[in-house]
Amino acid sequence: MARDEKWCRPHGPWGRHRRLRPPRHSFFARVFLLLGLSVALALILMLAFSDQGFSFRQLRHVAFGTFLVLVIGFFILRRLFNPMWRLLRGVQEISNGNLDFQFEAGRHGELGYLADTFNLMVRRVREMVQSRSRLLLDVSHELRSPLTRLKVALEMMPRNKLKTSMMQDVSEMETMLTEILETEHLRARDGKLSYTQIDLAELAREFARRYKGRKPGVKLIGKPTGFWIEADEARVRMVLQNVLDNAVKYSSHQRKPVQLRLEEEATHVLVYVQDFGIGIPDDEQEKIFEPFYRVDKSRVKKTGGYGLGLSLCREIMQAHGGEIALQSRPGSGTTFMLKFPKQRVRVS
């Protein structure tokens, strides 16, 4: 697959890890240029209509006067626009997920009011996010006990179609709760990863054997060896399983197996999972990494899942300082790219 093709890269909740381009300050430059031209034109007109005439020496005075005004104007405009640049920095911080950002106090007038309003908005957004996370965690924890009791009761029932169906529903709910708790744990500041040395090539061979009995199967391309990374093995397994599950599930009607391929860069190991299934529409490629979002709106048991798997994959990859991206074309299949750093990366 060509390296210059466009990859859809999720930027996480609140735009986490999404880098905005630095501002060009075009408005500041236009005001600065307009000020200089206005001063120069005014001085030229004054000299042109004066009784002393217009000489080269006077032209030098005009140039020096214009330069002096521009220097003074630059510092004045810079001071005037400085709060706007701080506001832009605040917006970028919030966009990158830093909900602890606050404008410094002590401002007066309209800018002080704007800073106070901005700080109040950030605090309310932070409280809303924390309340949502607490509610989600509390509900998930509370559901574990009745699910356990339900499993015990089901074990006492005679084996039949109803019991099999109910056991499948309970298993799906347990998976959903595990994914919710795991995602929130990774987002928490105290969420820790257990780093060990992992050979992704050996892990890829293991997963290829595991999916051998499921149509259309998984084929490992080439004979990779020694693709070592430093990562949390349990979390890496979650990512590979979720991505491969999706690939197999949405290409089960195809005869061509899902392709699993590894590549090595100077500082990263890339894992490509390519299927030849139904593909993902362009306008939904970014959304599928959001929690509870599914391309299949019917939510039937055949496709399964609750739209949490890829969201968890994104959190795990970002917690490792890595990246997940996809390329897809409806009717032609989807390729997921997992970019793992070779060495441990500390993520703020």
Tell me if residue 239 falls in helix, strand or coil.
helix
Mean pLDDT confidence for 108-122: 77
DSSP type of residue 283: G
Tell me if residue 95 falls in helix, strand or coil.
helix
Tell me which residue of 238, 121, 124, 246 sits closest to 185, measured CA to CA: 238
Cis peptide before 216 (omega within 30 of 0): yes
- Structure token pair of residue 285: 């490629």
Mean pLDDT in the chain?
79
Alpha carbon distance 339, 270 (integer Å):
5
Alpha carbon distance 64, 89 (integer Å):
36
Tell me if residue 115 falls in helix, strand or coil.
helix
pLDDT winner (highest mean) among 30-39, 79-88, 113-122, 323-332? 323-332
Angle 317-318-323 from CA coordinates, rounded to 5°: 60
Residue whose tokens read 């744990």: 185
- For residue 3, the model assigns a pLDDT of 47
Q: What is the pLDDT of residues 130-162, one digit of tens each?
A: 787 777 667 777 777 888 888 888 888 888 888
- For residue 306, the model assigns a pLDDT of 63
Q: What is the pLDDT of residues 253-289, one digit of tens each?
A: 888 999 999 999 999 999 999 999 989 998 888 888 8
Alpha carbon distance 347, 335 (integer Å):
26
What is the 3-state composition of the chain as percent helix, strand, coil, each rounded to the nearest 5? Answer: 55, 15, 35
Q: What residue type is 177 in one-letter code?
A: L
Q: What is the pLDDT of residues 292-342, one digit of tens each?
A: 777 665 545 555 556 778 988 998 999 899 999 999 998 889 999 999 999
Share of the chain above pLDDT 70, in %: 74
pTM: 0.61
Distance of CA 138 to CAs 146, 170, 291, Å?
14, 19, 17
Alpha carbon distance 282, 287 (integer Å):
10
Tell me which residue of 202, 225, 240, 203 sits closest to 324, measured CA to CA: 240
Q: What is the pLDDT of residues 201-235, one digit of tens each?
A: 999 999 999 998 888 999 999 999 999 999 999 89
- For residue 179, the model assigns a pLDDT of 74
- Structure token pair of residue 86: 């701080």
Provide the terminal-to-terminal Cα distance of the chain, rounded to the nearest Å.
Answer: 32
Residues 284, 295 contacting (CB under 8 angstroms):
yes
Angle 129-134-138 from CA coordinates, rounded to 5°: 150
- For residue 227, the model assigns a pLDDT of 96
- For residue 270, the model assigns a pLDDT of 97
Residues 285, 310 contacting (CB under 8 angstroms):
no
For CATH 3.30.565.10, the residue range(s) in the chain are 195-341
Helices (H), 188-232: 200-210
- For residue 44, the model assigns a pLDDT of 66
Q: Which residue has the higher pLDDT, 342 or 345?
A: 342
Tell me which residue of 324, 292, 317, 315 sits closest to 305, measured CA to CA: 292
- Structure token pair of residue 339: 């970019």
Q: What residue type is 339 in one-letter code?
A: K
> Strand 333-341 to strand 268-274: parallel, antiparallel, or no bridges (unpaired)?
antiparallel
Beta-bridge partners for 264: 269
DSSP type of residue 119: H
- For residue 197, the model assigns a pLDDT of 96
Residues 235, 242 contacting (CB under 8 angstroms):
no
Quote the radius of gyration of the chain (alpha carbons, Å).
Answer: 29
Alpha carbon distance 320, 314 (integer Å):
10
CATH code: domain 195-341 is: 3.30.565.10
Give the contacts of 106 (CB within 8 A, at least 6 positions apart): 112
Mean pLDDT confidence for 57-61: 68
